[in-house]
Amino acid sequence: MSVAKKTNHFLLIVVVLPMVLVLLFVLNISLGSVKIPLSDILEILSGGAGERATWSNIIWDFRVPKAITAVLAGAALSISGMKMQTFFRNPLAGPFVLGISSGASLGVAILILASAMLGSFLSDFATNSWLVVLAATSGSALVLLLVVLVSIRVRDSMTILIIGLMFGSATGAIVGILQFFSNSEQIQMYLIWTFGSLGGVSWSELKVFMSMVGIGLVVVITMIKPLNALLLGENYARSMGINLKSTRILIVVITSLLAGSTTAFCGPIAFIGIAVPHLVRLLIDTSDHKKLIPAIALGGAIILLFCDTLAQLPGSHHVIPINAVTSLVGAPVVVWVILRKKNFGRTFG
């Protein structure tokens, strides 16, 4: 790689993308149903009080946690998608191909939909945010356990992919049965959760979410060599001394941690994990995970912040569901990947 290309990569990852992220972060928290002047926002962020006390509460209690949630969720989903695309050597693989999102959805469906069948006392607990997080985490952990058990016994990564999809189909069927026997109010609550939301995470929940994403990203950084080797196939990775069995299990566990925690706190968010890795690869033109990991993490944070900014409809009191915006942004990218699939053969074998 030429010196000029290395310099461009360095400037992009260390200077350009972080600057864009900071600018979008400030823009994101400046939007909302209550109009707050930019000068007051900057003063509040720097530790000041602002012109009105309520503005400080709005910024710190609602807008900043939501923006941080978008950064964490975007980075987690994008890195998860990158790992799945490398692991399966499939440009259309995403963070939820192992059925993790479906497992989380099943946990929440059992909490919200089944609670209606058990009496009004239990149904009151269905609106507790921590219980929703716990239910989603439990569902994704159950699917994770099954996928890990399969990955221990199965050597073919494509078989793991197919089994993950079957787990997703089975949990989807169970959710459908629960919906059939639920009342309209409970179904509406569940559907609202499936739309995805970045605004319902409190500071206490954000600390847990941040810890889980931080652990996942740190482990991913230690896997640069195995991920680069897997791009050239499992036989090549084995010849390089990579323990494929432990690498496979670690990829599944960390992907489940990142994607599962995001789904637990934000609901299922579509297309970010599939679309962002391709956009970043196009931007920096490399398959080296040493550069891809930080670039994709920053790119995912930027794209989800951008989608959340669009969802707030500047000048309006309404907020579009985040899944609707990410689908509108991500779907054209996936179509573009399919139409240009031959060009990705060099990257994914």
Q: How far apart, in whole angstroms, are the C-alpha atoms of residue 59 and residue 38?
A: 12
DSSP H helical segments within the chain, as ranges? 3-11, 17-30, 38-45, 53-58, 64-88, 100-112, 120-125, 129-153, 157-180, 184-194, 203-221, 224-230, 234-239, 244-266, 272-284, 289-311, 322-339, 345-348
**Exposure string over 159-177, b if 16+ CB within 10 A, otherwise e:** ebbebbeebbebbeeebee
For 122-174, the pLDDT digits (tens) are 455 555 667 788 888 888 888 878 877 877 777 777 787 788 888 888 888 99
pLDDT grade for 121, boundaries at 50, 70 and 90: very low
Burial label for 107, CB within 10 Å (0-12, 13-18, 19+), is buried
* Residue 215 pLDDT > 90: yes
pLDDT attached to residue 211: 94
**Structure-block tokens of residue 19:** 């600057």
Contact (Cβ atoms closer than 8 angstroms) between residue 299 and residue 276:
yes
pLDDT attached to residue 118: 56
Run of H or E including 37: none
How open is the CA angle 318-319-322, to the nearest 5 degrees? 160
Q: How far apart, in whole angstroms, are the C-alpha atoms of residue 216 and residue 246?
A: 16
* Residue 34 pLDDT > 50: yes
* Residue 273 pLDDT > 80: yes
pLDDT attached to residue 154: 75
**Domains of the chain listed by start with CATH number:** 3-348 (1.10.3470.10)
Q: How far apart, in whole angstroms, are the C-alpha atoms of residue 269 and residue 300?
A: 12
pTM higher than 0.85 for the full model?
Answer: yes
Average pLDDT value for the chain: 83
